[in-house]
Structures are given as structure tokens and as C-alpha cells.
Amino acid sequence: MNSVQTFIFHLVATPLMGQIVLSEVMFDLPGPDSPNEFVEIFNLSDQTVDLAGWQIRDKTSTDELTDTGNGTVLNGRSYAVILEGDYESDNGLYDNLIPDSVIVLKVDDKSIGNQLSTSDSLFIINSSGTALDSVAWTDISASGFSLERLFLERESTVSNWATSFDSLGTPGLPNSVTPTAVDLGIAAESITHTPLYPEAGEIVSISVTVFGNGTETAEGILKAVLNGMELASLNTPSLAYRDTTLVSLEIGSFPSGIHQIQLTITAEGDDNTFNDTALHEIRSPFSVGVLMLNEILYSPDEGFPEFVEIVNVSSETVDVSQWAISDADRSKKNDLSPIELWPEEYLVIAADSTITVSTSGKFVVPEARFPSLNNSGDILYLFDMTGKIIDSLSFTSDWGGFDGRSLEKLNPSFPSQLKEQWGTCVAPEKMTPGGINSIYLESLPTSSTFSLSPNPFSPDSDGSDDLLYISYNLPFSQAAVTVHIFDTVGRTIRILAKNQASGSEGIMTWDGTSDSGEKARIGIYIVKFAVVELGSRRQAEWVETVVLAERLR
């Protein structure tokens, strides 16, 4: 069903009025119109009329009306439906709509006139050649909805025709637009609300035009409902036929999200339900930072798709339906599919579906396109369904993310705009889509710690103290770590790490062997741990001794 559409009519002749009138015209259907155009006529009198020899004409062609098997005699106060000549009577579009008692006629060729168009006119002509009624139109309505006469007894003027409420029209039946005694309606296209995007706690006022469409004056009750719960109501003033009034309701405040408000008007004796209800959408924006950018693969290895990962850092479930991302060109937003993100849940937005996402995350490919990210850096925006920017950042390649590795944030809740909150992924897979970032940390340590344990250690494979654990906590979010092990005369025995990428904390192990794989001798060794902060080049160094021992037998 559709709401009433608007027509512009240009009558091509002085209105004609006879015993037989045009009552409905279906001139435009979705797809090919043929063979489903129809014209409905009505006998205003109480006498029967034989339609044999009658004609129907559009702007360019005239057709004879022919019998389809149930005669040509039209009873008083009755309808007849005129179909195209090639309409399939046994399997046609209107077979279940047209009552069996209605006279059905066809034209004597395939189409009515020269095939009705969205700008046309019609005449019904009796057997004496007299035009009894006519109508002309220029259409700006939806396909599949007929043109119906409101009052059959009134002349064929612009104000006496309207678009059917019923898709496919009402062939052989009372017109859907014909006023009943009591009929109040809602003008759906008139509904507005303020503020346009109400923030949490803001009271929303909704305005709507209601109209009288019945032959009797009536008053009604207008209600606003959300998910079955009444938000507000008011009594309308008395409205006569074609009277209108603008009314407003305060319907309260709304949480973030998309809300479908149902407006309904009721009146005693109003049986026309076509115009009683309308839906109106209200969008309440989300708070900045409810979802955060968390990982970006902007310079992938060949054959691997770019992606952006976001995380729900709020305590509420968020539906990202009609959210969007974009690069620096904000005019080209990429809408997201309806997906619910639970608190702390990840969503990976990728260029294609070849990416492997952790089972803890969700995945989506934007319907339009994924914004192609520049290898030298780019700007990213995350919008909610109102167009509000929820998170953004402008990054360059010196932030991290090189050699096919992703750019990761230290913590999803950290501000995205700060370079020091990001770094290169240190996972062996080069990225962590849909999972906890490899450089994740709750917070940076306020001081550095470095420890060797156990000390002494005895790498004799007896299952006890076989490995030396080198543990560290750094006041740096991203660092390059180098670890050397020397003997007491300064000779290098083992290089455990050289400029190895690291987060703020980590553990390394030494099994007591040299770089050549030989077992080191029992004795004292020197562990030199050096670290350089990426970006600032700040440095720190620790030197500790450890005893490589042998367990007493």
C-alpha cells in the first residue's frame, strides 16, 4: 500500500456527464504495462444499459468494446471493467480481484487506445457516437496504483480524482479513495520533528497534519507509539471534508539509535484504515567514542585486502546499521550492514571477503566500496547513522604499519588522534583482525623493571630451572629491543634479540647455549638489555649478571 500520491490534471474538454461515467483508470504498471491496463466504468442510473457498439478512445486511437462471454448489458448502479484485448482471462493479474458479478469487456485490439501512457486522456463513447465522460492526466505517481474517481456523481474535475490506496487498484469494486461518512487521516509526508537529531535527554516534538476525508464532520484521537508503548496522545478538533489541521505532540527523549514512531488516528465510525497510520523515523546520535578505530592495514602484502577494525568500547550493544566509514573524501561514505556489536566486540571492515577474522570478531564488506588507503598515510572517519563523526584520525606511515604489518592501537579506548597511542603489529601473522592487538596494554608502566629468573639457573634438561626468563616492563609503548649475553671477559656468547619490535612489556628466554648451538660453560654471564623507543629515539639500558650452574648430584 502507498499513501495518496499527487496528480496534475489538464482536462482536454468541457466536463461531460452522462448515465455512464469513467470511474477508474490503470495506466501505468511496474515493468511492461501490457496486457494489464484497464478502465472501469459505472452506471449511475437504475436502468440497464447495453454497451454493444460502445467505444473507448485515448488521445490518438479509438477501440470498440467487445463481449468476453458474459454479455454487454450493464445493470443499474453497477461496474463494468474494460481490459486490453490480449489480457489472459484465465490467468490474469486481476482474476482474483474482479467480482464474478461484474461485466468484463475487452477492446477489439491488443491495447486500450494507443496504449495508455503517463500523460494521456480517455473518452467513453456510446453507440450513437456521443462522448459521455472524459478524463485527462499528467502523472507523477507510483507505478501500479490506479487513478480513481472520488465521487461518482460529481463531474470529472481535477479535485475529483486521486491515486488509489490499493496497489493494482479496485477493478469492479468501490473505489478506495471514495469518502466514507467518517474518515480522518494522517498526511504522512507532512510529519516533521524537532530537534532533527535529538541528543540524549532532549525532548522531541513531532508535528503532523491530520485531515478530514469523510462526508461528515468528525473529531478523533491521535497517538504516537513506539514498540507498542504509547508515548503521547491528543484529541483533534472537528474536521469536515478536506479540512486540515497541524498538531504537535511532545513524545519524550530517546536513547541513541534509530526509532520508528507509529502515528495513528482513530475516530468513532471510521472504517477506512488506509490513511489512519503512518511511520516516522527519529535518529538519535551516539556519543563520540562509543566505537573506536583500533587497527588499520593500509599497506598490505600483495594479494591481501586492506582493512579497518573498530571496537565497541561502551557498555551497550550498538547496531551499526547505516553507519559509515570514509577516507579523506568524506563525500564518499561507505555504509555498513546491520550488525550488532556487543561491548568489547570487534568489527573488521575490509575491502573483500578473503581476510581471516578471529572468532571473537565480526566482519563486513561495505556494499559501495572500501576506501582505498594511501601507503604514505591517510585520514579515516567513522560516522554514526546521523552523519556524526564518532571517531577519526589522520595518520602517516611513520606511525607504524610497514612491511605488510598492520597499524595497531595500544588500547581501544585510548584517543585515536595521538601518534603515541599507535604502533606496528608485532604478531607473527603481521596483524590481529578481530582479536586483541599484539601491542595491547592496559596502561603504560610508571617505571621500568627488568629481571632475570631463576638466578642461578641450570639448563641440564632435568625439568627444573632449565630456562632463564628475562622479563621487562618499559615506559614506552613501542620499542626496539636488543639483548646480548657476554662471558666475564667480554666475549659475545649469544645474541637473543637485535632491534626486535616490542610493546611495553615482554619475556625472553635463554636456554644456556651459544649462538653456535653449543652448551655454555658453568659460570657467571653478563646480560645486557638495551631498548630504543620508536618515534622519539629515547634509550634505556640494563646490565645484570646471571649464574649458569649445575645441580648438585
Q: Where are the domains of the chain?
A: 7-167, 184-284, 291-424, 449-548
Domains 291-424 and 449-548 share a fold: yes
Confidence category of residue 443, pLDDT binned at 50, 70, 90: low
- Per-residue pLDDT at 117: 86
User: 449-548: which CATH number, 3.30.420.40, 2.60.40.4070, 2.40.50.180, 3.10.20.30?
Assistant: 2.60.40.4070
User: 184-284: which CATH number, 2.30.42.10, 2.60.40.10, 3.40.50.300, 3.40.50.720?
Assistant: 2.60.40.10
Alpha-carbon distance of 150 to 156, in angstroms, equals 10
- pLDDT of residue 141 exceeding 70: no
Taking residues 508-531, report their average pLDDT.
93
- pLDDT of residue 7 exceeding 60: no
Taking residues 167-187, report their average pLDDT.
94
Alpha-carbon distance of 545 to 528, in angstroms, equals 9
Would you state the torsion angle of the CA atoms of residues 311, 315, 320, 323, taken in this order, to the nearest 10 degrees?
-80
Nearest to 21 by CA among 112, 152, 137: 152
**CB crowding 527-543: b at 16 or more within 10 Å, else e:** bebbbbbbbeeeebebe
Higher confidence at residue 16 or residue 476? 476
Ramachandran region of residue 164, left (φ > 0), alpha (ψ -120 to 50) or beta?
A: beta
Q: What percent of the chain clears pLDDT 90, i.e. is strictly above it?
A: 68
Query: Out of 6-15, 127-136, 393-402, which region has the weakest mean confidence (pLDDT)?
Result: 6-15
Taking residues 265-292, report their average pLDDT.
96
CATH architecture, domain defined by 7-167: Sandwich (2.60)
Nearest to 354 by CA among 279, 417, 297, 412: 297
Taking residues 183-193, report their average pLDDT.
97
Taking residues 35-48, report their average pLDDT.
96
Average pLDDT taken over every residue of the chain: 90
Number of Cβ atoms within 10 Å of the Cβ of 50:
12
Alpha-carbon distance of 79 to 43, in angstroms, equals 7
- Per CATH, the number for 291-424 is 2.60.40.1260
Exposure on the CB side of residue 24, measured as CA atoms within 13 A: 29
Query: Out of 260-264, 420-424, 439-443, 457-461, which region has the weakest mean confidence (pLDDT)?
Result: 439-443
Supply φ then ψ for residue 145, to 5 degrees.
Answer: -120, 125
For 342-380, write each residue's pLDDT tens digit.
999 999 999 888 877 665 678 888 877 788 899 999 999
Would you state the torsion angle of the CA atoms of residues 420, 421, 426, 432, taken in this order, to the nearest 10 degrees?
-160
Where does 44-150 show beta strands of DSSP type E?
Answer: 49-50, 55-57, 62-67, 73-74, 79-83, 103-107, 119-125, 131-139, 145-149
- pLDDT of residue 95 exceeding 60: yes
- pLDDT of residue 170 exceeding 70: yes
Query: Out of 27-31, 85-89, 320-324, which region has the weakest mean confidence (pLDDT)?
Result: 27-31
The structure's pTM equals 0.66
Taking residues 41-58, report their average pLDDT.
96
Beta strands 361-364; 346-350: pairing state: parallel
Taking residues 461-478, report their average pLDDT.
83
Handedness of CA 406, 399, 507, 492 (dihedral sign): positive
Decide: 263 and 281 in contact? Cβ < 8 Å. Answer: no
- pLDDT of residue 18 exceeding 80: no
- Per-residue pLDDT at 360: 63
